[in-house]
A and B are shown apart, each in its own frame.
Chain A
């Protein structure tokens, strides 16, 4: 018998990245995120994705009436819901940027990498639970780890283990990597990219186009720290750059406008490029709860089902 799920309000708190840091085990974290997320939905999300009937279940209030088995109702005058076998042929790849810039965390926040790791873990958990196969790629300016997709529960443990072993150190070179990966992932599937995308937007979009060319569905998650989005520094500051950038001493107030313009123009370019290439672009602020990406994933899935 499955362990009794924690109450909705209790479990949804695990969507808060700060709360999650207190939990050591990534496995549990992933589970909590997913459970927490699901408990917040009005209906079971992973019912109805599959096409093959699996079994009947007694109707409970809240179930969608479109899944009601009218035939059984006619025969037995009882309310039964049809349940389906889930699709198992979805191959997903989680591409996780482990470059040095992902280490950045503003005071009181978790680092972008940690945040991305939680997302990766929870996605992997969710996917494997749905018996989809999931693979993972860790990269910086090269592919550091390529774990082919699989749907076995043991595979989940492998993925989670890999996520705990990441040491960020190199520069990002997203464009080249995406071309490589587009070639290496043969079967069409879902590609989820978790990165701060600190690279030339043209190159990034070019890589995306390659994925699309290979008929992959792509969810592009740009993970940024709140400070990187708002640039709220006040005092004279010496900014020491990751990834070999030269340090800069400046009055941040004076540069804020220019910085925010740069940020806007970058994301605008990215957004437009993604829209043109039918790519889901998901901007993520590490300050916010983790469910944004999960929602993006689910809406992507739903969208692809009803295309």
Chain B
């Protein structure tokens, strides 16, 4: 009912204090009731004096009473903190403002509405909000999206510069996070801590649900963001009024997005056909038929397919095949025809095409006779000459066998996989090198044998073993009937999917005559990184895998050759070792494919490290803008800043053979940002507590102390926004003047009271 009062007063409730103006009157009346009685003889003089001064006395009393009433009323008014409104003539004025404009430039703001984008509309609104300010006001502009490293675009009192910045602001490829935008605004207000200035945060965004919650999970704030909000709310002088201005994109009927682009086989090989799978989502409400999808390799169109997307949100996939003839770094792109939300119509992938993948086999029992060395069967199983037998296509594994004596001197950087078979002991220093090798993405494969001492392994190699070694089980006699077969039914390792339920390739025909019992590591943290690859019907694991850093380690409890198993004689063996080897080999390009907002990483080879440190790494973004990458000495890799733009990035890496071109790809988070499903103001409000300590009617939208009284939702036209700003308080606070007036009146009252009461005047 009295809401309009809040346009003029900060604390309208305190206006009730004006009733204290009645206090002096009551005191006056009470005083009239409280008097002394005395008999008096000289009444004729008293009455004469009374008659003479009666009129003057009445006037004096009235003046004093008026002054006292005025003092009380002005005091109450001052406490209610009134503000003079603009347009109130000479009296009018406005308090200075610290306005933080939070401009959402996530790519969903790129939605085309009526010939322009929501982002352009938001920029126009932001410009007007800056122009609306008066000299002496402060303004900050924040661009909010997950891609921006530093959201603060500008803060200035030179408004023309700021308007220029707003005009130049671009859509990002990041996602929105409105609570984070509000927290950033609060943080800015806290840092600035402008005195005697009204604080305002105006968020300009769209109506998407994903700005507030993702998959029914509210957007989270980290502790420092929650603290920023809590801090400004705890201090009334800092507490801002927050308006969320939501631009309406209307109902979107046709909006398609490329939500993924993947390679079927992780390791891409020169001359071998590679299959790419693009996932397309229909984010609109209408079914999309015969949607053309373009496929580009290294910028050249390499394919075109069509896809039917009848159901909303449900993804459809398109496959493209391509054979790379050149090894090295390549990039591919999938593109749809542009629709109302253009940014999500493409996806990118950077990959490496390998000519060969070097595998180091360390043989603990090297012999000159054919097939008598420990690693002979294994080498043959993964070697190219036998690869035709492997129906998955040509695998460019290039094994190199050395004796365990030569192992300590080998530079592991040259190899993607190191296989150790029946190695008795590894020097301590090499164990550390091995661990570092795995942690940086290398892979390690252990076979055991008679030269292995379980106690020594457990003691010296614990850091690079996925489990502990127990007792030897079995006679080791191939002729005896005592053997253990592998368990067919217990296969759930992703790399062995082809063996699963394949009757032709029954693992039960793989026999083991002797093995070490594999025991789990004691530390719980280690157990979490470990999984069983193969096991025996008794439940004992036959092979165990562990992830360590970015690499993987696998251990088989038996031999690689025929000494303790019949495996090398079976065709399964070929399949098993190849699949597992490919599983273990980590393609280096994975760290070069990231979502927008995440940083790229590039592993440097030892010989590159020095060169790169000296010459630096030149990364350029999709627009060709140069970006810097930091060189991390410990992990020997180049680490970029969080990415801002989606697309293909490229870098020239110095190598021994000169500069080598490397590609990186950053993709948009389509699930988050392309989903233009809207959330109504009423729902947001119902999910914010009404007051501090309350619980909202529905599940909380975000965890902070923000309540409904702090936030107001507005329509997007400037008139509405301007009206709301004015309503909040565009006036100049005059409580100081009122307090001064009260003091002056107090002095006047004292002087007059003394003067009126002085009989000698």
Contact = CB atoms under 8 A, between A and B. Distances in A.
Contacts of B523: none
Contacts of B2: none
Nearest to A199: B44
Interface string A231-271: 10101111111110110111101111111111100100000
Contacts of A241: 39-41, 43
A198 interface: yes
Contact of B45 (A112, A251, A266): A266
Contacts of A225: 41
A179 interface: no
A104 interface: yes
A253 B757 CA distance: 5
A45 B757 CA distance: 49
Contact of B50 (A104, A237, A250): A250
Contacts of A266: 45
A246 B48 CA distance: 12
A104 B39 contact: yes
Nearest to B757: A253
Interface stretch (B30-38, B258-266, B350-358, B619-627): B30-38
B761 interface: yes
B172 to A, nearest CB: 78
A261 B46 CA distance: 10
Contacts of A103: 39, 41
Interface of B: 31-32, 34-50, 52-53, 57, 60, 756-761
B122 to A, nearest CB: 70
A228 interface: yes
Contacts of A233: 38
A198 B42 contact: yes
A5 to B, nearest CB: 38
Interface string A144-165: 0000000000000000000000
Given A228-B41, A248-B43, A261 B49 contact: yes
Contacts of B42: 101, 104, 196, 198, 224, 228, 259, 263
Given A101-B41, A255-B46, A235 B759 contact: no
B36 A258 contact: no
A262 B37 contact: no
B43 A235 contact: no
Interface of A: 100-104, 112, 196, 198, 224-225, 228, 231, 233, 235-243, 245-246, 248-251, 253-263, 266
When A and B form their complex, which 10 residue pairs have the shortest distance between CB atoms, in order from nearest?
Answer: A258-B49, A256-B759, A245-B43, A241-B43, A104-B41, A101-B41, A262-B45, A236-B35, A239-B40, A259-B49
B35 A242 contact: no
B757 to A, nearest CB: 4
A242 B31 CA distance: 25
Contacts of A236: 31-32, 34-36
A258 B50 contact: yes
19 contacts: A104-B41, A224-B42, A235-B36, A236-B31, A236-B34, A239-B40, A240-B39, A241-B39, A241-B41, A248-B50, A253-B757, A255-B57, A256-B759, A257-B49, A257-B53, A257-B759, A259-B46, A261-B49, A263-B45
Contacts of B757: 251, 253-254
B106 to A, nearest CB: 75
A104 B39 CA distance: 7
Nearest to A245: B43
Given A100-B41, A236-B34, 8 more contacts: A224-B42, A241-B41, A248-B50, A251-B757, A255-B57, A257-B760, A257-B761, A259-B48
A255 B475 CA distance: 131
Contacts of B761: 257
B677 to A, nearest CB: 77
A246 B46 CA distance: 11
A238 B41 contact: no
A100 B354 CA distance: 134
Nearest to B56: A254
B45 A237 contact: no
A233 B379 CA distance: 124
Contacts of B36: 235-238
A196 B41 contact: yes
Given A236-B32, A257-B759, A262 B41 contact: no
A254 B41 contact: no
A196 B45 CA distance: 13
B38 A240 contact: yes
Contacts of B46: 239, 248, 250, 255, 259
Contact of B53 (A231, A237, A239, A254): A254
A262 B758 CA distance: 17
A237 B37 contact: yes
A109 to B, nearest CB: 12
Contacts of A250: 46, 50
Contacts of A224: 42
A235 B35 contact: yes
B35 A245 contact: no
**Most chain B beta-carbon contacts within 10 A, residue among A231, A246, A249:** A231
B50 A242 contact: no
A253 to B, nearest CB: 4
Contacts of B41: 100-104, 112, 196, 198, 225, 228, 241-243
B31 to A, nearest CB: 6
Nearest to B756: A254
Given A245-B47, A255-B46, A257-B761, A238 B34 contact: no
Contacts of A239: 38-40, 43, 46
A240 B36 CA distance: 11
Contacts of A257: 49, 53, 759-761
A25 to B, nearest CB: 28
A237 B756 contact: no
Nearest to B761: A257
Contacts of B38: 233, 237-240
A5 B158 CA distance: 106
A223 to B, nearest CB: 11
Contacts of B44: 198, 245, 262
Contacts of A263: 42, 45
A236 B46 CA distance: 14
A224 B760 CA distance: 21
B761 to A, nearest CB: 7
A231 B759 CA distance: 10
